[in-house]
Amino acid sequence: MKRRLRAKVWWPQIYREAEKIVKTCLDCLQCPPMTRHKFPNGPWQHIAIDLMKAGPISEKILVVIDYFSHYQEIKFLKSPTAATIIAHLQEMFSRLGIPNSIRADNGPQFARKEFHLFCEGSNIEFIHTTPYWPQANGEVENLNRSILKLLKISHTAGKDYKAELQEFTLMCI
Protein backbone atom coordinates (compact mmCIF):
# COMPACT_ATOMS: atom_id res chain seq x y z
CA MET A 1 0.00 0.00 0.00
CA LYS A 2 2.82 2.38 0.89
CA ARG A 3 4.47 1.85 -2.47
CA ARG A 4 1.23 2.73 -4.28
CA LEU A 5 0.81 5.89 -2.22
CA ARG A 6 4.39 6.94 -2.81
CA ALA A 7 3.95 6.49 -6.58
CA LYS A 8 0.89 8.77 -6.74
CA VAL A 9 0.97 11.38 -3.96
CA TRP A 10 2.97 12.57 -0.98
CA TRP A 11 2.57 14.87 2.01
CA PRO A 12 4.16 14.88 5.45
CA GLN A 13 3.02 11.94 7.63
CA ILE A 14 1.13 10.30 4.74
CA TYR A 15 1.88 6.78 6.03
CA ARG A 16 0.60 7.49 9.54
CA GLU A 17 -2.65 8.94 8.16
CA ALA A 18 -3.11 6.04 5.74
CA GLU A 19 -2.65 3.51 8.58
CA LYS A 20 -5.18 5.41 10.70
CA ILE A 21 -7.74 5.33 7.87
CA VAL A 22 -7.25 1.61 7.27
CA LYS A 23 -7.47 0.77 11.00
CA THR A 24 -10.76 2.65 11.36
CA CYS A 25 -12.37 1.54 8.08
CA LEU A 26 -15.38 -0.66 8.92
CA ASP A 27 -15.28 -2.54 5.62
CA CYS A 28 -11.57 -3.26 6.06
CA LEU A 29 -12.07 -4.53 9.61
CA GLN A 30 -14.85 -6.95 8.65
CA CYS A 31 -12.68 -8.89 6.19
CA PRO A 32 -9.87 -11.06 7.50
CA PRO A 33 -6.44 -10.26 6.06
CA MET A 34 -5.59 -12.04 2.83
CA THR A 35 -3.14 -14.88 3.27
CA ARG A 36 -1.22 -16.82 0.69
CA HIS A 37 -1.40 -20.58 0.77
CA LYS A 38 1.65 -22.21 2.30
CA PHE A 39 4.21 -23.52 -0.14
CA PRO A 40 4.59 -27.30 0.32
CA ASN A 41 7.76 -28.80 1.79
CA GLY A 42 7.84 -31.73 -0.60
CA PRO A 43 6.28 -33.25 -3.69
CA TRP A 44 2.64 -34.28 -3.91
CA GLN A 45 1.57 -32.51 -0.70
CA HIS A 46 -0.53 -29.85 -2.38
CA ILE A 47 -2.03 -30.34 -5.83
CA ALA A 48 -4.28 -28.25 -8.04
CA ILE A 49 -6.89 -29.74 -10.34
CA ASP A 50 -9.09 -28.35 -13.07
CA LEU A 51 -11.40 -29.58 -15.77
CA MET A 52 -11.06 -27.91 -19.14
CA LYS A 53 -12.81 -28.03 -22.49
CA ALA A 54 -10.55 -27.71 -25.47
CA GLY A 55 -12.03 -26.35 -28.69
CA PRO A 56 -11.90 -29.05 -31.39
CA ILE A 57 -11.90 -31.94 -28.90
CA SER A 58 -15.17 -33.43 -27.71
CA GLU A 59 -13.62 -34.79 -24.51
CA LYS A 60 -12.96 -32.78 -21.38
CA ILE A 61 -9.47 -32.77 -19.94
CA LEU A 62 -8.68 -33.34 -16.27
CA VAL A 63 -5.54 -31.38 -15.45
CA VAL A 64 -3.60 -32.12 -12.25
CA ILE A 65 -0.40 -30.35 -11.18
CA ASP A 66 1.78 -30.60 -8.09
CA TYR A 67 2.64 -27.22 -6.57
CA PHE A 68 6.10 -28.32 -5.38
CA SER A 69 7.59 -30.26 -8.29
CA HIS A 70 5.27 -28.99 -11.06
CA TYR A 71 4.69 -32.62 -12.00
CA GLN A 72 1.56 -32.81 -14.12
CA GLU A 73 -0.92 -35.40 -15.26
CA ILE A 74 -3.50 -34.96 -17.99
CA LYS A 75 -6.46 -37.31 -18.45
CA PHE A 76 -9.09 -37.25 -21.19
CA LEU A 77 -12.63 -37.82 -19.92
CA LYS A 78 -15.60 -38.72 -22.10
CA SER A 79 -18.03 -38.20 -19.21
CA PRO A 80 -16.62 -35.68 -16.72
CA THR A 81 -18.70 -36.64 -13.69
CA ALA A 82 -17.56 -36.49 -10.08
CA ALA A 83 -17.39 -40.31 -10.06
CA THR A 84 -15.04 -40.50 -13.08
CA ILE A 85 -12.82 -37.74 -11.67
CA ILE A 86 -12.65 -39.58 -8.34
CA ALA A 87 -11.73 -42.83 -10.14
CA HIS A 88 -8.88 -41.11 -12.00
CA LEU A 89 -7.65 -39.40 -8.82
CA GLN A 90 -7.69 -42.73 -6.94
CA GLU A 91 -5.60 -44.29 -9.68
CA MET A 92 -3.16 -41.37 -9.47
CA PHE A 93 -3.02 -41.53 -5.68
CA SER A 94 -2.29 -45.27 -5.79
CA ARG A 95 0.88 -44.48 -7.75
CA LEU A 96 1.93 -41.15 -6.24
CA GLY A 97 0.43 -41.12 -2.75
CA ILE A 98 -2.40 -39.14 -1.22
CA PRO A 99 -1.83 -35.37 -1.10
CA ASN A 100 -2.54 -33.23 1.96
CA SER A 101 -4.71 -30.82 0.00
CA ILE A 102 -6.41 -30.28 -3.34
CA ARG A 103 -7.16 -26.84 -4.76
CA ALA A 104 -9.91 -26.59 -7.39
CA ASP A 105 -12.39 -24.11 -8.79
CA ASN A 106 -16.11 -24.22 -8.12
CA GLY A 107 -16.96 -26.45 -11.07
CA PRO A 108 -20.06 -28.60 -10.57
CA GLN A 109 -18.02 -31.82 -10.40
CA PHE A 110 -15.90 -30.45 -7.55
CA ALA A 111 -18.87 -28.93 -5.72
CA ARG A 112 -20.71 -32.27 -5.49
CA LYS A 113 -21.15 -33.90 -2.10
CA GLU A 114 -19.65 -37.08 -3.57
CA PHE A 115 -16.35 -35.28 -4.21
CA HIS A 116 -16.30 -33.72 -0.74
CA LEU A 117 -16.94 -37.12 0.86
CA PHE A 118 -14.08 -38.59 -1.17
CA CYS A 119 -11.74 -35.88 0.12
CA GLU A 120 -12.92 -36.31 3.71
CA GLY A 121 -12.58 -40.09 3.50
CA SER A 122 -9.04 -39.74 2.13
CA ASN A 123 -8.14 -37.11 4.75
CA ILE A 124 -7.51 -34.49 2.07
CA GLU A 125 -8.17 -30.81 2.71
CA PHE A 126 -10.26 -29.52 -0.17
CA ILE A 127 -9.75 -25.84 -1.00
CA HIS A 128 -12.21 -24.03 -3.28
CA THR A 129 -10.80 -21.07 -5.15
CA THR A 130 -12.57 -17.74 -5.32
CA PRO A 131 -15.32 -17.80 -7.97
CA TYR A 132 -14.58 -15.92 -11.21
CA TRP A 133 -10.95 -15.35 -10.17
CA PRO A 134 -8.83 -17.92 -12.03
CA GLN A 135 -5.60 -16.43 -10.65
CA ALA A 136 -6.43 -18.12 -7.35
CA ASN A 137 -5.59 -21.41 -9.05
CA GLY A 138 -2.85 -19.90 -11.19
CA GLU A 139 -0.58 -22.92 -11.41
CA VAL A 140 -3.18 -25.08 -13.12
CA GLU A 141 -4.57 -22.17 -15.18
CA ASN A 142 -1.09 -21.54 -16.63
CA LEU A 143 -0.87 -25.21 -17.55
CA ASN A 144 -4.33 -24.98 -19.16
CA ARG A 145 -3.12 -22.10 -21.31
CA SER A 146 -0.12 -24.15 -22.47
CA ILE A 147 -2.34 -27.15 -23.22
CA LEU A 148 -4.76 -25.04 -25.27
CA LYS A 149 -1.90 -23.58 -27.27
CA LEU A 150 -0.48 -27.05 -27.93
CA LEU A 151 -3.91 -28.38 -28.95
CA LYS A 152 -4.42 -25.52 -31.42
CA ILE A 153 -1.00 -26.11 -32.96
CA SER A 154 -1.49 -29.88 -33.26
CA HIS A 155 -5.00 -29.41 -34.71
CA THR A 156 -3.72 -26.91 -37.30
CA ALA A 157 -0.81 -29.20 -38.22
CA GLY A 158 -3.14 -32.21 -38.45
CA LYS A 159 -1.23 -34.15 -35.78
CA ASP A 160 -2.60 -36.52 -33.15
CA TYR A 161 -3.34 -34.24 -30.20
CA LYS A 162 -3.17 -37.06 -27.63
CA ALA A 163 0.33 -38.05 -28.73
CA GLU A 164 1.39 -34.40 -28.71
CA LEU A 165 0.03 -33.91 -25.19
CA GLN A 166 1.79 -37.08 -24.04
CA GLU A 167 5.07 -35.73 -25.40
CA PHE A 168 4.39 -32.36 -23.76
CA THR A 169 3.88 -33.91 -20.32
CA LEU A 170 7.06 -35.97 -20.72
CA MET A 171 9.02 -32.81 -21.58
CA CYS A 172 7.77 -31.11 -18.41
CA ILE A 173 8.92 -33.86 -16.04
Same domain assignment for residues 93 and 121: yes
Same domain, 68 and 6: no
50 is a domain residue = yes
Q: Are residues 65 and 148 in the same domain?
A: yes
pTM: 0.75
Range of the domain at 108: 46-172
CATH at 55: 3.30.420.10
**Number of domains into which the chain is organized:** 2
Same domain, 104 and 68: yes
**What tens digit of pLDDT does each residue of 89-113 get?**
999 999 999 999 999 988 889 989 9
Residue 114 sits in the same domain as residue 148: yes
More confident residue, 57 or 65: 65
Q: How confident is the model over 148-167, as a mean pLDDT?
A: 84
| pLDDT value of residue 38 | 75
Q: What is the spatial distance between Cα 122 and Cα 67, in angstroms, rounded to a whole number? A: 19
CA 79 to chain centre: 21
Longest CA–CA separation in the chain, Å: 65
Higher pLDDT, 27 or 172: 27
Measure CA of the first residue to CA of the last residue in the chain; give whole Å. 39
SS (H, E, C) the chain: CHHHHHHHCCCCCHHHHHHHHHHHCHHHHHCCCCCCCCCCCCCCCEEEEEEEECCCCCCEEEEEEECCCCCEEEEEECCCCHHHHHHHHHHHHHHHCCCCEEEECCCHHHHCHHHHHHHHHCCCEEEECCCCCHHHHHHHHHHHHHHHHHHHHHHHHCCCHHHHHHHHHHHCC
